[in-house]
Amino acid sequence: MKKKILGLLPFIFILIIVGIFFRQTLFFGKLPIPSDALVGMYHPYLDYIAKEYSAGLPFKNFLITDPVRQQIPWRKLAIEALRKGDINTWNPYSFSGTPLLANIQSGSLYPLNFLFILFPFPIAWTILIISQPLLAGFFLFLFLRHKQLDPVSSLVGSVCFGFSGFSIAWLTWGTILSTILWLPLLLLSFEKIHEISRKTLWRLLFIFSLISSFFAGHIQIFLYCMFVFGAYVIWIQRGVRIKRLYLMHVVIPFIILIITAPVWFRFISFLPYTSRIVGAAWKAEGFFITLPHLIQFVIPDYFGNPATLNYWGIWNYGEMIGYIGVIGLFLAIAGISARSAFWVVIVGVSLLFAVDSPIARLPFRFQIPVISSLQPTRLLAIIDMCLSILAAYGTAALITGEKKKPMIIAGIVLLIAFVGAWISVLVPASFGISVEHITVVKRNLMLPSAMFAVAMVIIGGVMVLKKSWVSIRYGGAFILLILLSFELIRFGWKFTPFTDAGLFFPKTEIITFLEKQPKPFRITSTDDRIMPPNVNSFYGIESISGYDPLYDSRYEKFIAAMERGEANITPPYGFNRIISPKNITSPLFKLLGVRFILSLSDINDVRFKKIMQEGQTRVYEDTEFLPRVYLLEQVEFIPDELKIIQTFYSPSFSPGISGIVEEQISVAGDPVESNEKADIVVYSDNQIDISVWVNKKRVLFIGNIFHKNWKATIDKDKLPIFRANYIFMGVVVPEGAHSVQLRYE
């Protein structure tokens, strides 16, 4: 019993560290969600809080907005679909409609989604965020203990992994850290399968950890995990001759492919229709880690910090931060040995392709499939995990006193780094640092330098002890663990926002008004300071804007022609993951079915009628708003994309009356008579039921984005769907009364 209790102590320690980090959540009810950035940066939220915060709401970190603009709205849609027993969900709220399950970042099938069934969404999301450093610490601890490392050394690695710079920078996303945290459990399960006779439990854990990593929601990090796993398998099995295939080699991979198929099949199927350009941004600043930014492994805020509004480094702070603590890095360098060679190689290879150099650029110059579509700075996820493991090995070496030379080398390396950093402050002109940034650099050098000095004293003291003084050596290592936890938690607190629960997607007057309007309709805004793309989906409001690395290429061309005000679909289109159309006077705009326009200034056009105003945000209604479904009077066959766009700009084209199809059909071309109609009976994310009465065979136009997975029936018989008006859907209905049903499958 006593042994079991002692065995639980490391897990209790990890639990306490995680609890300390999330103390504002546990004791004050604040959420680790950047809601403050949403409410503090965008209208109509700024209008909503104007009475209480006349000068605006202070927000912790302007860099962290993606969780509230992407991950949270997408996960909410996925959870609502699961509640209805549906997983093949269409997202009608962004880009005028786009697949949801094909969007891996939605995390639609992540096993921990059961939390959202048990708890209200904000609480479930908070638990999900907390689970990341907790599970990362638990799983790496178990793996390191399996590698025969002592508990204190294993805890050092666990704390480094759970609270590393990369982990903290991407913590609030709920997807990236959730993807990589399963890798240690995957490695442990694989080893156990090959070492023990009772394999069933470990086979199940192997399957569960791999599919959990895939479903967690970040394909790039998952691919990196698979590269590391594959390399590890080759490494540990390099001396083993496989004489025959076993269950592990055939059945388990097949099971994993089947379980994950609903997502990867949709994802791969959607890719050919998207505008994802392979390696398109590889020449842009910040695509690789630059050499000067390697100093952030030692001094995380050398270039400042976005949370303190003084970051002056390259592009995105979160893409450059590989910090695992000064003590952690000291121990990681000291942990380099033949025993840890695999992890050293992985770190080396990862740095080779993450840090800007001719070698790192090769995959993008030659456009190597898959690799050339991945941003190399994300290799920091793997680098930090491997450095955490090396830190554990370094701690073990310190405790046993086996080798002193690696400790000395580690001290010298870091000493050189700190001396160089201080010289850059004392002689800033030599390093090109401006006077305005010197104060920032100097202030942020203080604590890391102090931690390095303390680490040198403790490690030096432990090194001179006799090897037999194991207890004192353990004590010294444990002190290092506490100090390491302190510096990583402090770093995390500085960067991570904790916000009042009341700021979580609040409902303003305008949002409430839009929620109550009869569906379907779409909205747009004329200013980027108004409700950013995807946020509307949290409230079930459809928009023509969107923010996602993947979106339909035809939609991109359509919006480009609309924004340019001319029939021009020549690339480049000027969109980088975000599409926020604003040209509300374009003839293409009418086809999108936008009813309400949000603006921060008056719209002087009689076509748009002002409905309401909340603070600075105005709501206008398009008086020429077209319904989602209607019967076409004029149908023209045009198979060429450019000619279709040119026709939209032609005076002869009449939105709501005219239609363009890309396959030959024969229908009436007469005006729609007064008794002919098409009315929506049922409308939901995946379903549209339409009651139709026509006197002649006609084309029924459906203003939802065309996708091959939309299926139609008429009076329960299959009905072909074709493209209409370039990006929308159309079906032919024969004379008489009919029930047309569309389902996204």
Is the confidence at residue 469, as pLDDT, over 90? no
**Single-letter amino acid code for the residue at 426:** L
Q: SS3 helix, strand, coil % of the chain, rounded to 5?
A: 50, 15, 35
**Single-letter amino acid code for the residue at 653:** F
Residues 523 and 388 in one domain: no
593 is a domain residue: yes
233 is a domain residue: yes
Instruction: Render pLDDT for 710-724 as a digit per residue (tens, 0 to 9).
Output: 999 999 999 999 999
- Domain encompassing residue 580: 32-72+92-108+501-624
Take residue 461 and report the two structure tokens written for it.
Answer: 């003291």
Distance CA 496, CA 60 (A): 8
Helix (H, G, I), strand (E, B) or coil at 321: coil
Residues 405 and 538 in one domain: no
Picking from 624, 655, 684, the residue at the C-terminal end of a domain is 624
Distance CA 332, CA 298 (A): 12
605 is a domain residue: yes
Residues 670 and 716 in one domain: yes
Nearest of 515, 493, 613, 530 to residue 38 by alpha carbon:
530
Picking from 477, 495, 513, the residue at the C-terminal end of a domain is 495
Picking from 445, 467, 495, the residue at the C-terminal end of a domain is 495
Take residue 682 and report the two structure tokens written for it.
Answer: 């049922």
Instruction: Render pLDDT for 120-161 as a digit per residue (tens, 0 to 9).
Output: 999 999 999 999 999 999 999 999 999 999 999 999 999 999
pLDDT band for 372, please (50, 70, 90 cuts).
confident
513 is a domain residue: yes
268 is a domain residue: no
Instruction: State residue 277's pLDDT score.
Output: 53
Count of structural domains within the chain: 3
Residues 114 and 103 in one domain: no
The residues facing 692 across adjacent strands are 678, 738
Is the confidence at residue 259, as pLDDT, over 90? yes
Residues 380 and 463 in one domain: yes
Taking residues 369-383, what's their average pLDDT?
Answer: 91
pLDDT band for 55, please (50, 70, 90 cuts).
confident
Is the confidence at residue 281, as pLDDT, over 80? no
Taking residues 667-680, what's their average pLDDT?
Answer: 92
Cis check for the bond before 520: say yes or no (omega within 30 of 0): yes
- For the CA atoms of 471, 472, 476, 478, the dihedral, rounded to the nearest 10 degrees, stands at 30
Taking residues 440-451, what's their average pLDDT?
Answer: 96
Residues 462 and 604 in one domain: no
248 is a domain residue: no
Instruction: State residue 53's pLDDT score.
Output: 87
Output 275 or 298, whichever has higher pLDDT: 298
Residues 6 and 99 in one domain: no
C-alpha torsion sign, points 252, 255, 260, 265 = positive
Mean pLDDT, the chain, whole residue set: 93
Neighbours of 352 (CB within 10 A): 13
Name the E strands within 521-585.
522-525, 542-543, 546-547, 578-579
Residues 385 and 284 in one domain: yes
Burial (CB < 10 A; 0-12, 13-18, 19+), residue 516, is: exposed
Residues 672 and 546 in one domain: no
Taking residues 69-85, what's their average pLDDT?
Answer: 94
Question: Is residue 62 within a helix (H) or strand (E), and if so which, with residue range?
Answer: none
Residues 507 and 471 in one domain: no
**Single-letter amino acid code for the residue at 506:** P
What is the total residue count of the chain? 745
Instruction: Render pLDDT for 195-243 as a digit per residue (tens, 0 to 9).
Output: 887 888 999 999 999 999 999 999 999 999 999 999 999 998 776 665 5
100 is a domain residue: yes
Residues 722 and 618 in one domain: no
Is the confidence at residue 294, as pLDDT, over 70? yes
141 is a domain residue: yes
CA distances in angstroms from 417 to 319, 413, 452, listed in the order given:
21, 6, 11
Instruction: State residue 466's pLDDT score.
Output: 79
Residues 435 and 474 in one domain: yes
Q: How much is the pTM?
A: 0.94
DSSP one-letter code for 154: H
Instruction: Render pLDDT for 488-529 as a digit per residue (tens, 0 to 9).
Output: 999 999 999 999 999 999 999 999 999 999 999 999 999 999
Buried b (16+ CB within 10 A) or exposed e, 27-53: eeebbbbbbbbbbbbbbbbbbbbbeee
Helix (H, G, I), strand (E, B) or coil at 603: coil
Output 392 or 284, whichever has higher pLDDT: 392
- HEC per residue, 413-430: HHHHHHHHHHHHHHCHHH
Helix (H, G, I), strand (E, B) or coil at 639: coil
